[in-house]
């Protein structure tokens, strides 16, 4: 009897031991990576339970365990900066304003080059090489673009245009824009042109005057594109719009959402925004009882025939940090999120049945729990993302469906008016890497002083020239051109 | 019997003064009341009544939809977390601030000035967020609630107020307790605390408000958003439509105002009960340097 019990216990022990080994082996096979993205991303809902559902869905589909770091969108850049500088780096994070920050992160050694991974990946290498060319640091690629290259242009409310007799083509000249928009200044309740506080959006107007307000390669040599007669001409044009009441007088305090609200509520007649905002404006103007059509003005053609939309190129990008212990898994995560339609759909609009569910007629509608934290079923991701979403597994609401063909047309047309865009030439000059952000700040300060009238063009540019001398700007150019 | 006239004879000038004084004080009251009134009625207004650049003074509609939306967004969970953190944090802070204040109030403490100077230095020089984060991380507190309590447990300002108040307590009171055989702990508990109730109430409120409103430390030290506090949730809701890429639902003013009401509600409820200590406590603490 004792022998039987002993054998039974031995077998049970061996079985449990084997089970333990198998379980731990399975666990060991599932790599874990830490991912830092702001709270607006994880299925577009801020609800922690819904975000957890998105993470579970991704883990299941990609086969990687995700340790999520989810800061609020408004503090995201500060949090990333803190994590990088404190050495507590996540394995993967989404770099905002990639054109400026990816070169900076690379120059500081925070992120690793991904060329080898891109070469090996059929999905990542299928992307148009021009996309990667936007940001090359020492000939290497350190990022995977989060979305397709993105552009901004002007959106004009049709009801306001009709009311004031504003007649503008989709590519008017700067003079036409000034003359026609001036007609709206007689109405004290309308802001003819609403603009956000972000001065780097001035580049849309600079394009019309052949200006690229940064250090950029011109005829093979790096030059300062800001301190030029053309830039002064462009700023005087903006100042004219501002002084004569066309440009929003309080633009310097406008957040993007304030500007958008002004437009879809009908407080403003025109604004500057992303190419894929058509459905958004149609939907929100309807909700605000101010429904109208929205006309795109892709570019303003300047006095010398130049112009183009505001090319933000790579707005956000995925990057892998130099402390990542499993870059293969990190790249797999990025690759699947960016190029796999099933996964991108989950991260863009959430999980079916949790974030959204079909109504009686079978149209997908957001659920109340998701709506409470700002979720809306928005088709923007269809245009912005790389994959083709032919099999979405749901039907759009008829209102959205109605606006989609026009949005598709606009998304195609904007590609015919793409403005210039150059990445910051990081990693070539230590001095430049140190001053790149303060130089940007100085340019924006100079531009805003001129437009707001706190300094004349001469004074502001003289101040800029002094600053340029103080940072040894000419030496920076020599180093960059070496 | 002749009646005594107790009324002060009002001259014309005094009457004019009283009228103008009343008008002035009424206007000053309005400056504070009107924005609060606007916040309240905007928070219960319907969407169509807050569109455009309107400033509501007269209620146009009544709807609790925005409050219901906030309650659906995980408000209660965040609220409970905030209450727990603020309560435990306040208790922890008081537990270290009071003995520290009592110790520094001892006139015969060796190196008292040095300690005080070292403490005051932290009010003037801020180490910055990165070194702060590194220290918190070294102690393994990142992504734990301890990170929101321990590193910020002692406020120099509050410590100085308490120390000053205790210094103003007559030495004879403490001496007599010592003669009766009381040790320092007994003196603190049985003598100092009972006579320091006003300052303790004020500092408790200070600490509670500090913990309640804490934002940047929560964002920086907590990675997991199931652990964030009410202030982070409310700010997130307020700015949710700011994201450029997601095209989140737009936030109207009624929702923003409802968020404000929900955010200030607990402190608003607490404040009237201890406000009398609030003012007197600060005045008492500021008498002696």
Residues 6+ apart with CB under 8 A from A151: A274, A275, A309, A310, A311, A312, A414, A417, A418, A419
Helices B12-43 + B253-285 axis angle, to 10: 130
- What local confidence, expressed as pLDDT, does residue B249 receive? 61
CA distance to partner chain A, nearest, from residue B201 (Å): 34
Question: Which residues of B, range 91-130, sit inside 8 Å of A by Cβ?
Answer: 129-130
CATH class held by domain B66-285: mainly alpha
Closest C-alpha to B146, from B157, B155, B131, B135: B135
pLDDT tens sequence across A65-114: 999 999 988 889 999 999 999 999 999 999 998 988 998 899 889 999 99
Other residues' Cβ atoms within 10 Å of the Cβ of residue B218? 23
Task: Provide the H-helix boundaries in A268-397.
Answer: 278-287, 327-339, 341-349, 368-371, 380-384
pLDDT at position B279 over 80 = no
Closest residue to B237, CB basis, from A69, A82, A373: A373
- Judged by average pLDDT, the poorest of A41-50, B95-104, B154-163 is A41-50
Q: Do B244 and A256 touch (CB under 8 A)?
A: yes
Distance, in Å, from the CA atom of A372 to the CA atom of A47, rounded to the nearest integer, reads: 8
What average pLDDT does the structure give for chain A? 91
Contact at CB, A368 and B72, closer than 8 angstroms: yes
Reported as a single tens digit per residue, the pLDDT across B63-85 is 998 888 888 877 788 888 999 99
Which pair of tokens denotes residue A386?
A: 């790389």
Of A41, A74, A88, the CB nearest to B242: A74
| Interface touch B239/A256, C-beta < 8 Å | no
Q: Does A10 touch chain B (CB under 8 A)?
A: no
Of A381, A330, A322, A412, give the one whose Cα is nearest residue A144: A330
Q: Which residues of A touch B234 (CB under 8 A)?
A: none
Q: Nearest C-alpha of chain B: how many angstroms from A253?
A: 14
pLDDT given at position B289: 40
Binned at pLDDT 50, 70 and 90, residue B247 comes out as: low
What are A238-262's pLDDT values in tens digits? Answer: 999 999 999 999 999 998 888 998 9
Taking an 8 Å cut-off on Cβ atoms, the answer to whether A374 and B226 are in contact is no
CA A292 – CA B14 distance, rounded (Å)? 62
Alpha carbon distance A143, A51 (integer Å) = 25
CB contact under 8 A, B243 and A87: no
- Tell me the pLDDT tens digit for each residue of B170-185: 888 888 888 989 898 9
Q: Do A369 and B72 touch (CB under 8 A)?
A: yes
Give the residues across from A67 on adjacent strands: A34
Rounded to 5 degrees, what angle do the CA atoms A203, B249, A417 make?
30
**DSSP state for residue A87 in the 8-state scheme:** T
Top mean pLDDT of A102-106, A202-206, B14-18 is at: A202-206
Provide the pairing of β-strand A150-157 with A144-145.
unpaired
- Tell me the nearest-neighbour CA distance from A227 into chain B, angstroms: 30
**Mean pLDDT (whole number) for A422-441:** 84
Instruction: Express as a percent the part of chain B with pLDDT over 90.
Output: 45
B219·A72 Cβ contact <8 A: yes
Q: B216: distance to nearest CA of chain A, Å?
A: 9
CA distance A274 to chain B (A): 8
A window 311-340, beta carbon within 8 A of B: 315-316
In 3D space, the residue among A245, A241, A294, A248 whose CA is nearest the CA of residue A267 turns out to be: A248
Q: Give the position of tokens 């005087």.
A: A236
Q: Which residues of B touch A378 (CB under 8 A)?
A: 246-248
Query: What is the separation of C-alpha B264 from the centre of its chain, rounded to a whole number of angstroms?
Result: 10
- What backbone phi and psi angles, to 5 degrees, belong to B271? -60, -50
For B241, which of A68, A146, A374 is closest by C-beta distance?
Answer: A374
Please report the residues numbered 126 through 145 in chain B whose beta carbons come closer than 8 angstroms to any beta carbon of chain A.
129-130, 133-134, 137, 142
> Can you tell me the distance from the alpha carbon of B104 to that of B114, in angstroms, rounded to the nearest whole number?
10
Question: CB-based burial of residue B3 (10 Å sphere; 0-12 exposed, 13-18 middle, 19+ buried)?
Answer: exposed
Q: DSSP readout, A233-298?
A: HHHHHHHHHHHTT-B-TTGGG--HHHHHHHHHHTSBSEEEEETT-HHHHHHHHHHTT----EEEE-
With a threshold of 0.85, tell me whether the complex ipTM lies above it: no
Measured between CB atoms, does B46 come within 8 Å of chain A? no
pLDDT of residue A365 exceeding 80: yes
- Whether residues B239 and A284 touch (CB distance < 8 A) is answered with no
Does A70 sit within 8 Å of B223, measured CB to CB?
yes
DSSP string, chain B: -PPP--SPP--HHHHHHHHHHHHHHHHHHHHHHHHHHHHHHHHTS-HHHH-SS---SS------HHHHHHHHTTHHHHHHHHHHHHHHHHHHHHHHHHHHHHHHT-TT-TTHHHHHHHHHHHHH----HHHHHHHHHHTT-TTSGGGGTSTT---HHHHHHHHHHHHTS-HHHHHHHHHTT--HHHIIIIIIHHHTHHHHHHHHHHHHHHHHH--HHHHHH---TTS--HHHHHHHHHTGGG-TTT-PPPPPHHHHHHHHHHHHHHHHHHHHHHHHHHHHHHHHHTS--
- Using CB atoms, pick whichever of A74, A368, A380 lies closest to residue B247: A380
Residues in chain A: 482
Q: Is the Cβ of A87 closer than 8 Å to some Cβ of chain B?
A: yes
Interface test with B, best of A33, A257, A380 (most B CBs within 10 A): A257
Identify all chain A residues contacting B223, using CB atoms and an 8 Å cutoff: 68-71
**Are B250 and A284 in contact (CB < 8 Å)?**
yes
pLDDT above 70 coverage of chain A, percent: 96
Q: Stretch B44-53: mean pLDDT, rounded? A: 79
Condensed to tens digits (0 to 9), the pLDDT of residues A106-123 reads 988 999 999 999 999 999
B248 to chain A, any CB pair closer than 8 A? The answer is: yes
CB A225 within 8 A of CB A232: no
C-alpha B135: how far from chain center: 26
> In whole angstroms, what is the distance from residue A215 CA to residue A222 CA?
6
pLDDT of residue B235: 83
Count of pairs with CB atoms under 8 A, one residue in A, one in B: 133
Lowest-confidence range among A23-32, A304-313, B103-112? A23-32
Residue B244: per-residue pLDDT: 44
- Measure in Å the smallest separation between the Cα of B35 and chain A Cα atoms: 20
Q: Which two tokens stand for residue A257?
A: 């959402």
| Non-local CB neighbours of A5 within 8 Å, separated by 6+ positions | none
Longest dimension (CA), chain B: 88
Q: Which residues in chain B are contacts of A97 at CB distance < 8 A?
A: none
How many whole angstroms separate alpha carbon A53 and alpha carbon A40?
Answer: 15
Of A69, A373, A384, the CB nearest to B245: A384
Q: Which residues of A touch B237 (CB under 8 A)?
A: 46, 373-374
- Give every CB contact of residue B38 below 8 A, 6+ residues apart in sequence: B55, B56, B57, B257
Length of chain B: 289
Q: Does B53 touch chain A (CB under 8 A)?
A: yes
The structural architecture, per CATH, of the domain A150-312+420-481 is 3-Layer(aba) Sandwich (3.40)
> A373-404: per-residue pLDDT in tens?
778 888 888 888 999 887 778 888 888 888 98
Same fold, A33-148+315-349 and A150-312+420-481: yes
The span from the first CA to the last CA of chain A, in angstroms, equals: 89
What residue ranges do the domains of chain A occupy? 33-148+315-349, 150-312+420-481
Which pLDDT does position B7 carry in this prediction? 63
- State whether B243 and A73 contact (CB < 8 Å): yes
Write out chain A residues lying below 8 Å of B254, CB-based: none
Q: Tens of pLDDT along A40-53?
A: 889 888 888 899 99
List where CATH 1.10.3720.10 sits in chain B: 66-285
Q: Under CATH, what is the fold of the domain A33-148+315-349?
A: D-Maltodextrin-Binding Protein; domain 2 (3.40.190)
User: Does the structure show a pLDDT above 80 at B4?
Assistant: no
């Amino acid at each position: 009897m004792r022998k039987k019990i002993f054998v039974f216990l031995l077998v049970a022990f061996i079985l449990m031991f084997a089970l333990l080994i198998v379980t731990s082996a399975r666990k060991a096979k599932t790599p874990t990576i830490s991912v830092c993205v702001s709270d607006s991303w994880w299925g577009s809902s801020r609800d922690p339970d819904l975000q957890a559902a998105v993470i579970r869905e991704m883990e299941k589909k990609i086969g990687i365990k995700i340790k999520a770091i989810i800061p609020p969108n408004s503090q995201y850049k500060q949090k990333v900066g803190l994590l990088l500088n404190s050495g507590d780096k996540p394995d993967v994070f989404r770099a905002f304003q990639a054109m400026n920050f990816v070169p900076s992160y690379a120059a500081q050694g925070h992120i690793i080059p991904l060329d080898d991974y891109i070469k090996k990946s059929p999905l990542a290498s299928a992307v148009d090489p021009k996309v990667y060319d936007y940001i090359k640091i020492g000939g290497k690629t350190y990022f995977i673009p989060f979305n397709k290259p993105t552009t901004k242009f002007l959106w004009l409310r049709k009801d306001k245009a009709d009311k004031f007799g504003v007649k503008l083509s989709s590519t008017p000249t700067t003079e036409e824009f000034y003359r026609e928009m001036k007609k709206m200044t007689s109405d004290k309740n309308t802001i003819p042109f609403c603009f956000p506080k972000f001065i780097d959006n001035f580049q849309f107007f600079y394009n019309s005057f052949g200006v690229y307000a940064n250090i950029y390669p011109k005829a093979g040599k790096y030059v300062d594109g800001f301190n030029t007669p053309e830039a002064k001409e462009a700023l005087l044009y903006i100042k004219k719009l501002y002084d004569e009441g066309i440009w929003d007088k309080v633009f310097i305090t406008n957040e993007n959402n304030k500007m958008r609200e002004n437009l879809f509520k009908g407080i403003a007649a025109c604004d500057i925004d992303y190419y894929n905002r058509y459905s958004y404006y149609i939907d929100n103007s309807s909700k605000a009882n101010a429904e109208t059509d929205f006309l795109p003005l892709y570019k303003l053609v300047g006095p010398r025939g130049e112009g183009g939309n505001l090319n933000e190129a790579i707005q956000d990008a995925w990057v892998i940090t130099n402390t990542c212990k499993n870059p293969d898994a990190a790249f797999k995560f990025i690759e699947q999120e960016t190029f796999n339609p099933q996964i991108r759909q989950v991260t863009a609009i959430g999980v079916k049945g949790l974030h959204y569910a079909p109504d009686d007629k079978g149209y997908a509608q957001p659920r109340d729990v998701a709506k409470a934290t700002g979720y809306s079923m928005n088709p923007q991701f269809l245009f912005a993302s790389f994959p083709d979403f032919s099999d979405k597994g749901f039907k759009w609401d008829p209102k959205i469906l109605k606006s989609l063909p026009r949005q598709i047309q606009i998304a195609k047309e904007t590609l015919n008016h793409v403005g210039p865009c150059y990445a910051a030439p990081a990693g070539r000059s230590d001095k430049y890497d140190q001053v790149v952000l303060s130089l940007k700040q100085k340019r924006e300060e100079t531009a805003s002083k001129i437009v707001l009238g706190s300094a004349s063009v001469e004074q502001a540019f003289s101040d800029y020239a002094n600053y340029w001398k103080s940072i040894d700007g000419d030496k920076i150019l020599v180093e960059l051109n070496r | 019997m002749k009646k005594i006239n107790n009324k002060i004879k009002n001259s014309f000038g005094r009457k004019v003064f009283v009228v103008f004084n009343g008008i002035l004080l009424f206007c000053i009251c309005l400056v504070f009341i009107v924005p609060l009134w606007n916040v309240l009625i905007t928070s219960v207004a319907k969407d169509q009544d807050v569109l455009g650049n309107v400033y509501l003074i007269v209620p146009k509609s009544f709807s609790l939809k925005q409050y219901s939306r906030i309650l659906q967004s995980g408000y209660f969970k965040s609220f409970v977390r905030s209450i727990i953190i603020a309560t435990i944090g306040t208790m922890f802070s008081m537990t270290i601030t009071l003995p520290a204040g009592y110790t520094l109030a001892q006139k015969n403490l060796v190196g008292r000035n040095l300690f005080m100077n070292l403490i005051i230095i932290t009010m003037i020089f801020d180490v910055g967020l990165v070194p702060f984060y590194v220290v918190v991380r070294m102690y393994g507190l990142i992504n734990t609630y301890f990170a929101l309590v321990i590193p910020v447990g002692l406020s120099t300002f509050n410590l100085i107020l308490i120390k000053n108040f205790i210094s103003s307590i007559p030495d004879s009171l403490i001496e007599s307790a010592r003669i009766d055989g009381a040790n320092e702990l007994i003196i603190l508990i049985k003598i100092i605390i009972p006579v320091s109730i006003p300052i303790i109430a004020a500092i408790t409120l200070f600490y509670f408000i500090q913990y309640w409103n804490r934002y940047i430390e929560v964002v920086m030290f907590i990675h997991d958003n199931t652990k964030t506090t009410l202030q982070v949730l409310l700010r997130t809701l307020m700015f949710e439509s700011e994201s450029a890429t997601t095209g989140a639902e737009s936030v109207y003013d009624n929702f923003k105002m409802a968020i404000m009401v929900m955010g200030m509600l607990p402190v608003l409820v607490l404040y009237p009960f201890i406000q009398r200590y609030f003012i007197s406590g600060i005045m008492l603490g500021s008498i002696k340097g």
